[in-house]
Amino acid sequence: MVQTSKKNSLGIVLKLLIVVFAVLVIAAVPLGVRAYSTPVQEESTSVLCSYQHRGNYSYVAHLKPNQFYDNKQVLYPGSGALYTNLVENLDVTFTYTFVSTQTSDLVVDYVLTTELEMPDKWSKSFQTGIENSIVLTGETAGFSVEIPIDVEWIENIKNTLEAETGTSSSTYNFRITPRIHVLSENSVGTIDEYFIPELVLEFTSGSAEGNKITISGLDNSASGSITETYTTFHPEVLNDRNLFVAVSAVGLIGLLFTSFVFTRTRPKPPEKLIKQLTSPFEGAIIDSSTEPPREGMITVGMKSLQDLVYVGEGLGKPVLHFEKPGEKNVHIFYVIDGTTKYEYIFEAHRKPKK
């Protein structure tokens, strides 16, 4: 009975430990999710300076004497369509502006070129002689240049190139391209980049809308910034990860070990214990429905079923097996030799002694 009590106590302890370790494993899951979904270190960017390049064009179109515009002499952007036969020349003004959140010292170099092109056929570049290098200072700084455009000259050059190449098209373009290099220094850094705002004059002829000049690219801009990147380390996240590893390792190892021990020490069902006890002696044991006699008998107790079987074999007597009614899992094995009874009593909750 003492041994049975110890086994029961061990089983209870093992069950409690299994519960404890299972709870540890379950509790480690949200800790692991939090620890590994948060970076140990992260980078953040701070804007030290913002800036913008602006390139804006305006123009004045000088007209030939005309009936269509009631002899109006000039047109401005948005004041009317530019018909090629009416426009004598254009005075284009290009204005560059550099805007910054920091006061800057700038060195601005620019070169302006033009190009006449017949799309997908040919192009011809021209030097304008408009170039300069200037020094500017401030949060806002810039310059302006005047670009005269002779429409008749463009038409003549186009006709010459068409004659030389044997090509023709109802559409051709005249491109104005300032290439601006900006070197800016301020208290937080240096800006070194190019800005190329292009103006395009598209000449069309023979369309339903007539012979026209369409201008695109009047307003251009490009923005940028000087930034600084910071790296922030989170030691608490690393601590959470280490804690997760430790808790989950202890929980898993403990759960596996206690489950293994519990499985090995768990009492077997009585039927399996009886089968385990009697299987080596199946031919020597006979089940009996009669309780062994007591009166007038000398009872000799045996230490094991194996000893009892040896006695039976020596006496040439069978070993009888009786399951005692009213008492749970009590089995009596005995051999009768006259008035002597050799007996082995087995309680199924104990480990059998064969």
On the question of pLDDT at 72 being above 60, the answer is yes
pLDDT of residue 211: 93
DSSP code per residue over 152-163: HHHHHHHHHHHH
Using CA atoms, how far residue 332 sits from 188, 242, 286, 317, 323, in Å, is: 99, 59, 12, 16, 6
Closest CA to 195 of 203, 186, 183, 187: 183
8 pLDDT band (50/70/90 cuts)? low
Q: Give every CB contact of residue 297 below 8 A, 6+ residues apart in sequence.
A: 336, 339, 340, 341
Instruction: State phi, psi for 346 to the nearest 5 degrees.
Output: -120, 130
pLDDT tens figures, 14-54: 788 888 888 888 888 888 888 888 888 888 899 999 999 99
Q: Residues 309-315: what's their mean pLDDT?
A: 87
Q: Residues 59-85: what's their mean pLDDT?
A: 95
CB of 28 closer than 8 Å to CB of 250: no
* CB crowding 64-90: b at 16 or more within 10 Å, else e: eeeeebeeeeebeeeeeebbbebbebb
Distance from C-alpha of 173 to C-alpha of 88, rounded to nearest angstrom: 17
Closest CA to 320 of 304, 307, 310, 309: 309
pLDDT of residue 186: 92
Residue owning tokens 């033009």: 114
The token duo for 231 is 């790296």
116 has which bridge partners?
Answer: 124, 174
pLDDT tens figures, 147-181: 999 999 999 999 999 999 999 999 999 999 999 99
pLDDT tens figures, 221-270: 999 999 999 888 888 888 888 888 888 888 888 888 888 887 776 655 66
pLDDT of residue 199: 97
Q: Residues 64-69: what's their mean pLDDT?
A: 95
3-state secondary structure of 273: helix
DSSP code per residue over 67-85: TTTTT--EE-TTSS-EETT
pLDDT of residue 39: 85
306 pLDDT band (50/70/90 cuts)? confident
Distance from C-alpha of 180 to C-alpha of 108, rounded to nearest angstrom: 7
Per-chain mean pLDDT for the chain? 88
